[in-house]
Structure 1
Amino acid sequence: MTGGVDCIFCDIVADRREGHRVFEDERVVAFLDARPLFPGHTLVVPREHHETLTGLPAETVGPFFERVQRITAAVESGMEAAGSFVAANNRISQSVPHFHMHVVPRNPKDGLRGFFWPRSRYAGEDEAEAVAARLRSALGE
């Protein structure tokens, strides 16, 4: 699928809208997030419009993530960061319905919190095994 209707990221990819590009090739475009968590916060998008990770064609996944890996190294190096946070929302909290990865430079004590809201534990081994079994079953479908 190409060229999402009224898609901000498709407009950036097609040069119809300004984006501070960091990288581009035949598969992806990477540009600075307009509302960064920290300077250097970069978004990596496939050139073709796919709304979610599960919508990416299988043959696209590997090459896409090879670029994410390269851009992550550049963000860490270029921003002199100790590490990075690399993440994607899939429908929920996805402000633009065009699949994208966030690459955020990180440093110790940078104040970033809240990405993994309330974490808890399973009630016990039985509950954990039941959840694992549900996921194994879904993978077998």
Structure 2
Amino acid sequence: MPVNTRDPYDPTNIFARILRGEIPCREIYQDAHALAFHDINPQAPVHALVIPRGAYVSLADFTVHASDAEIAGLWRAVGITADLLALTDPGYRILSNIGGHGHQEVPHLHVHLFGGRQLGAMLPRT
């Protein structure tokens, strides 16, 4: 098990506030385990975010502390959201930034869905 799987959760982060209804979002899908909505600063023609309803900082936190139903529910919501946005064919990218090196900007686990055009290489070659 990873040593640091439970960084402190900040309940004032923007995704926690969206989940509480304090900040509006352009909702795509929601269920008991997840909420999907359009990104306010899209990086592709289609850019959505899927977040778990629980207070999880990172993937490590989520996979250690979330229930099996929450874990399955988040990934099911990712697939449903991709279908609702007609991304399944010809394809799309999912991405989750974790921690400082991963450039995570909001300390609430979230999955980006990108699509609507050819996305190119994942990372520049070094």
TM-score, L = length of structure 2: 0.77
Q: Does 1:29 align with 2:38?
A: no
In 1, Cα distance between equivalents of 2:109 and 2:61 = 8
CA contact (8 A) 1:23 1:31 kept: yes
Range moving further from structure 2, 16-25 or 80-89: 80-89
Which structure features the higher share of helix residues? 1
Equivalent residue number for residue 100 of structure 1: 110
SS at match of 1:69: helix
CA contact (8 A) 1:81 1:106 kept: no
In 2, Cα distance between equivalents of 1:94 and 1:114 = 20
CA contact (8 A) 2:25 2:38 kept: yes
In 2, Cα distance between equivalents of 1:5 and 1:63 = 21
In 1, Cα distance between equivalents of 2:98 and 2:67 = 16
CA contact (8 A) 2:48 2:112 kept: yes
Equivalent residue number for residue 43 of structure 1: 49
Alignment length (residue pairs): 113
In 2, Cα distance between equivalents of 1:94 and 1:25 = 24
Deviation sequence 1:55-92 (CA, Å, 0-9, x none): 11251222210111111122235xx9621111111112
Bigger RCO of structures 1 and 2 (CA < 8 A, at least 6 apart): 2
TM-score, L = length of structure 1: 0.70
Larger radius of gyration: 1
Residue 49 of structure 1, CA deviation? 1.5
Equivalent residue number for residue 20 of structure 1: 26
CA contact (8 A) 2:57 2:108 kept: yes
Equivalent residue number for residue 53 of structure 1: 59
Q: How does 1:66-81 map to 2 (within 5 A)?
A: 66-77=76-87
In 2, Cα distance between equivalents of 1:7 and 1:84 = 27
**What 5-or-longer segments of structure 1 have no aligned partner?**
120-141
Residue identity matched to 2:25: G
Q: Does 1:82 align with 2:95?
A: no
Residue 118 of structure 1, CA deviation? 2.5
CA contact (8 A) 2:34 2:51 kept: yes
Among 61, 65, 83, the alignment partner of 2:75 is: 65
SS at match of 2:125: coil
